[in-house]
Structure 1
């Protein structure tokens, strides 16, 4: 190009001036004080950082993955997960914001809603959330929980007699899944052992496989597997709902019979039912997932911890032997007995801190929101994760160390321990999980001792944590004791 040509020089100047004008106009059009988006990268369309995040979960390096993002971008960063534009927040202040902000809705990614349900408590807001939460709390109120201790006690004893007694080795994780499923299916659906319970158990083994996965509804994908398992489980629960409704009409069931009966029985001031059939099914699904998967993980990892922690085991055994002294042969545990299991519950809380069953969840920005000087645009997802505070050494000194005394006189800032969430949406089943855990540990530590079969004591997160090989242990039965 010959820049000596006057016409070319004029054209170049005109182009330069036009670019300057466009830049100035763009800056002038910005609203004063408009907030920037958080730092970070969206990555590839649809996929974004999903594959890297899932790899970190499944290789048990997710805590490092989070820490690297915080070191690179700070406590607030943007990314794309599971096809959705997302902002990840970390720290106690961020947790409090997520749990209490009225500007954040609980809408999960569409992939999760298709699996778990559109009308379950985690999705609802405002009056609908208050109505459904109130219905679930009716089933979980203290005088109802007292009734469940004996039922849980019976299921635990039967389980140990059938699957543990007389065995030289057992694989703990699948057995804890079995135990918690049997407990929750009895209390939620009134299901005794039989074909229907077995079919539902098979479905729930796969319901969560694709909750946090790339949402590709294609053959052989985890997402497709979850959709099929969810649809099958939903059909079973819908059938149970119809049968329970008929039993209530015939006077063969009452509100206290099980969760489905309770939800179907609730009415407003005019006598109209509080929950639709879809809401009953969706919330039964969500309750089954919460009560089945999370408690089984806690129990399995407590058993894993106790195998190599003689001091904690000795303290726990002592606590339960003291409780047993006041019991007669064959007596079941009572609500009052559970109140004396303080050390066991501190150990359980510490286990939940180290290995939270729920790694994190999403919220949705209902409008443009400011947090920490950044804009979270309307419609974007907000991700919080439990390990971001659970494994923060400034909150929990020596965070990788198992230390139940942390929960004797807690000093961590509010919204640091978030195994059960927090705020108005704190887990409605938290007390139920406590009962389930304490009853199971009472009989386990008094009836058995065990050693790990695998020298490598590791676990992976395939959405939820899973110990190596399902945690096989060598089992030794103690001399018979009562109760």
Structure 2
């Protein structure tokens, strides 16, 4: 009897281990192929994005594998997920499971201390510092400056022109607003040089990460280094001006971040974090607003009735102003229909194609295993253009957003959601509405639908 008990005690751990292994082996990876090591499906996806077929590429993948599949993107094994449940998992899920981690190729360009990379307390600390400048009550005081930049741009690049290239001009406008408002960098040779390097940096962010001379990625890395050098010099200048009391803590975003101190009088945000997050704000603020305004113009051109309603709303605001009087925060609040048009544009053409997270531990998701260390990839247009969520998704219909509560939860994510919602979404709203106001009341009126 004692021998039998001893034998059972010896075999029990072995049986438990075998049982655990059997259960572990049943945890299957999502369907799909990882493809060629390192490269995987990166080339195919990038080619699709450059030809505006990124959504089509992803839908073909969903049709083949379903709502979850594995692949390799930018050198790392990746799981692609989509749908409202996926959006909830990405933006509202447990932060101990997913980290906001970009591919190493993008991290090498933008730096490793931006909000794209930070998690937990570090993310909250830096985000709160950024929000102290970007929240609505802070941005109100800069309405005049934004209005001035938009007016100057319209007079220089749009008025009196028979033909214009909308997207490049919108990128110049949003860049100038960012430089003026966020960095205090006024017009001149320095801003032109900064723009040239910034554009070269952006061009290589979504490219094959091959760091060899003359590749787009290599040029982007070198441009990123030059941009950081220029920003570092700018930060040092701001430090000196703050010490000499010739600059104020809320003069621009840089002085705001430099002025943040904790109870021990220590700086809240480091110099490196300032540099990397300034670059992030530049990328986010530059592309999102310029793409949104450009496609709003395109969709207004194709929908005369919508254009007429926007024009009527904006003309009523213009009539309430004296000559040369800038727009105010209260004027923006009256642009309700115009912003619904912007929301519908964001649904159909989300400026951010998608993003990445990093699995911090093995995750069970929809019956599949997402292994620790793998990337998780999401794409915003997958729910935006889903006919089960938004009926007739290809139809441009601003009425969808008359009642925000009617929009299904976790389905409309142009600015993300939850604790990771874009901190610059209000800044984007201001730039968009001010630009559209002057475009439809001073530039396009009587021309667009002649």
Normalised by the shorter chain, which TM-score bucket? over 0.9
In the alignment, structure 1 residue 267 sits paired with structure 2 residue 261:
yes
The structure 1 residue matched to 2:223, chosen from 229, 247, 251, is: 229
Indicate if the aligned counterparts of 1:166 and 1:477 stay in contact, CA closer than 8 A: no
1:89 aligns with 2:81: yes
Name the structure with the higher helix share: 2
Contact kept, 8 Å, 2:101 with 2:117, in 1: the verdict is: yes
Q: Specify every segment of 5 or more residues in structure 2 that has no aligned partner in the other structure, as ranges.
A: 1-16
TM-score (norm 2): 0.93
Q: What displacement does 1:310 show?
A: 0.8
Task: Tell me the SS of whatever aligns to 2:356.
Answer: strand
Asked whether the 8 Å contact 2:304–2:449 carries over to 1, the reply is no
Worse overlay, 165-174 or 439-448: 165-174
Residues 163 and 119 of structure 1, relative CA distance in 2, 3 Å threshold: same
* Whole-angstrom distance in 1 between the partners of 2:47 and 2:136: 42
Q: Which residue matches 2:23? A: 32
Are the counterparts in 2 of residues 188 and 288 from structure 1 also a CA contact under 8 Å? no
Cα displacement string for residues 77-123 of structure 1 (whole angstroms, at most 9, x for unaligned residues): 00001111000001000110011222100111110101111101111
- The answer for the alignment partner of 1:243 in structure 2 is 237
Higher strand share: 1
Instruction: Give a deviation string over 1:191-242, Cα, whole Å, max 9, x none.
Output: 1101111111111212222222221001222211211121111111111100
- Aligned residue for 2:54? 62
Distance 1:344 1:117 in 2: 36
The answer as to 2:355 corresponding to 1:364 is no
Contact 1:447 1:477 in 2 (8 A): no
**Which of 419, 424, 430 in structure 2 is aligned with 1:435?**
430
- C-alpha change, 1:404 and 1:115, in structure 2 (3 Å) is same
Establish whether residue 294 from structure 1 lines up as the match of residue 288 from structure 2: yes
- Report the CA distance between 1:250 and its aligned residue: 0.4
Matched, 1:448 2:443: yes
Which residue, 312, 321, 328 being the options, matches 1:318? 312
Count of residue pairs brought into register by the alignment: 430
Shift of 1:412: 2.9
Please state whether the residue corresponding to 2:202 is helix, strand or coil. coil
The Cα of 1:450 is off from its aligned counterpart by: 7.8
Contact 2:147 2:434 (C-alpha < 8 Å) held by counterparts: yes
Deviates more, 1:90-99 or 1:404-413: 404-413
Q: Map Cα deviations across residues 155-189 of structure 1 (whole Å, 9 max, x no partner).
A: 00001111112222111111101100000111111
Higher deviation after alignment, 28-37 or 434-443: 28-37
**Within the alignment, does 1:76 sit opposite 2:71 as a pair?**
no
Structure 1 residue matching 2:376: 3-state secondary structure: strand
SS of aligned partner of 2:250: coil
CA 1:413/1:194 → structure 2, altered by over 3 Å: closer, same or farther? same
Picking from 421, 426, 435, the partner of 1:426 is: 421
Show the counterpart of 2:274.
280
Q: Which residue of 1 aligns with 2:7?
A: none
Alpha carbons 2:40, 2:75 under 8 Å: kept: yes
Q: C-alpha deviations, 1:407-453, integer Å up to 9, x for none?
A: 112423211111101110000000110001000100000012289xx
What does residue 129 of structure 1 align with? 123
Q: TM-score, normalised by structure 1?
A: 0.86
Task: Give how far 1:31 is off.
Answer: 3.5
